[in-house]
Structure 1
Amino acid sequence: MTDNLVSLKVDLSDGVAEVTLLGPGKGNAMGPDFWRELPEVFGELDRDEAVRAVVLTGSGRNFSYGLDLPAMSGSWAPMLGEKSLAKPRTDFLDEVRSLQRSVTAIAACRKPVVAAVSGWCIGGGLDVIAAADIRLASADAKFSVREVKVAIVADLGSLQRLAGIVGEGHLRELAYTGKDVDAARAEKIGLVNDVYPDQEAVLAAARELAADIAANPPLVVQGVKDVLGHRREAEVAEGLRYVAAWNAAFLPSEDLGEAVAAFLERRAPKFNGR
């Protein structure tokens, strides 16, 4: 397995790989190390014949606070000026597509992935679990497609994948409002399959489910995943290309600058539609 990981930990036992988010940002926030290591890890899991299923979870109380804004804001900072031209926009487009490929590595992994979610799962965290095959939650879990709150169109896969998971109406409600959804609501709309009393219980359930999957003929299980994802992932890929181009064209705004400033200054943003 990949050595010298910073943001992820990987353990393997009886055909099940357990991937744990480590941060190092607060609440397992996703910084440069995470985006670099995620496709490396899932690429290795895909190739490792000893791996038959994967459990994906977070360390500490929360799955992930999502994108590490202070660590990643340099990606779009050059675009915030009024004279943002083709070069910074092209660089940003490349960056978005790179992050998209990181998340897609989860969906592309031939081994089924079971996400065990506790605490907060925000923004990029939701993009990640949307790319998993199955999602389980603890009773304290909370979910949010939070990007609209920071003046960004979500562009890493939640808008493309969640419609097939929760349905169009629920996705639009989540994406337009940026509201928080608790575990009970998440189960009701189909975002998660089941809810368990606490973090220990949901992780145990995810391990048991992954072990059940791992006990089946591996090539058949991989074939089932391939067939189920055949049409959907093609549609997702098209949607990802579109949203990356859309954000490269329209992301720069006064509202985005205000959202970043408000986040860093720990205050409520004031958006003006400019």
Structure 2
Amino acid sequence: MEARVSIEVSQGIADVRLARPDKMNALDPAMFAGIVDAIARLEQEPGLRAVVLSGEGRGFCAGLDMASMASAGTGTDLMARTRGLANDFQAVAWGWRTLPVPVIAAVHGVAFGGGLQIASGADVRIAAPGTRLSVMEMKWGIVPDMAGYALWRGNVRDDALRELAYTAREFDAAEGQALGFITRIAEDPRAEAMALAKAIAGRNPHAVRAAKRLANLEADAGETLLAESREQAALLRTPNQIEAVMANMQKRPPAFTD
């Protein structure tokens, strides 16, 4: 079967593309498996600093391929936590959030239903002007169940999310940015995402990973303050932290080790 996801790694940056352009990268069983496998590979990738996630062809991801999924059946116990906190379906979105390094989604064309949830798993979402978005599940009489609610909470305005989930109406990138689904808009989102990934890759990789752990932390103020101190104590006076200081003082590019 043709691969549904392609990965190229160069200079610490993984270029990950959903690769079913004839179906606007709609999610069939092979695409689910391909994304889960891609995340598993990236978890083990040596020297990884950042990930850019995009879709080939005319759109990022059109959501579920309902015909393929219906003929295949779910084949999954939705209540089983097979991927840490998540089930198999949630893992294709939640897995980007738990990946140790920052993930930047470059979104264009459409991001409907499951496609929007996958993009929402990224740390940053850069969209092309006019990109069409939808929390589309209600169209099929179901609810978002690919980690959307967990990923949107804290980013997306609650009343707006309720309206969009209840109605499944489409909205564009500009509205998506105003509501918190999209980080920023760019004419060439993939080029913008690559530039951001390169900037991140030029920072202390241990500090970047620590920053992502802190950003992912769901805890009260006391636990969060303690976690900040713990991460900082682990970074101070390490070779990469000293290199960051020296490179800035000497006005030269840093040379970090992983």
Shorter-chain TM-score tier? 0.7 to 0.9
Match of 1:176 in 2: 166
- Alpha-carbon deviations, 1:210-231, whole Å to 9, x = none? 1111111111101111111021
What is the one-letter code of the residue matched to 1:60?
G
Which segment is superposed worse, 66-75 or 217-226?
66-75
Q: CA RMSD in A?
A: 2.2
Match of 1:230 in 2: 217
Change (3 A) 1:99 1:16: same
Q: Distance in 2 between matches of 1:227 and 1:127?
A: 22
Match of 2:48 among 33, 48, 51: 51
Matches within 5 A, 1:1-274: 6-23=3-20, 26-74=23-71, 91=77, 93-94=79-80, 97-197=87-187, 201-231=188-218
- Alpha-carbon deviations, 1:49-106, whole Å to 9, x = none? 22100000000010011111111114658xxxxxxxxxx9x84545992211232221
Greater RCO (Cα-Cα under 8 Å, separation 6 or more): 1
Change (3 A) 1:91 1:44: closer
Q: Distance in 2 between matches of 1:5 and 1:45?
A: 20
Match of 1:254 in 2: none
Q: Distance in 1 between matches of 2:147 and 2:153?
A: 10
Q: Distance in 2 between matches of 1:59 and 1:101?
A: 21
User: Is the Cα contact below 8 Å between 1:7 and 1:24 reproduced in 2?
Assistant: no
What is the one-letter code of the residue matched to 1:103?
A
Change (3 A) 1:16 1:91: closer
Consecutive unaligned residues in structure 2, runs of 5 or more: 220-258
Q: Distance in 1 between matches of 2:14 and 2:68?
A: 28
User: Is the Cα contact below 8 Å between 1:137 and 1:183 reproduced in 2?
Assistant: yes
What is the one-letter code of the residue matched to 1:206?
A
Consecutive unaligned residues in structure 1, runs of 5 or more: 78-87, 233-274
- Identity percentage over the alignment? 33
Following TM superposition, by how much is the alpha carbon of 1:124 offset from its aligned partner in structure 2, in angstroms?
Answer: 0.6
Equivalenced residues, count: 215
Which segment is superposed worse, 126-135 or 156-165?
156-165
What is the one-letter code of the residue matched to 1:48?
E
Match of 2:237 in 1: none
Q: Which has the higher helix share?
A: 1
User: Is the Cα contact below 8 Å between 2:21 and 2:57 reproduced in 1?
Assistant: no
Q: Distance in 2 between matches of 1:51 and 1:97?
A: 25
What is the one-letter code of the residue matched to 1:30?
L
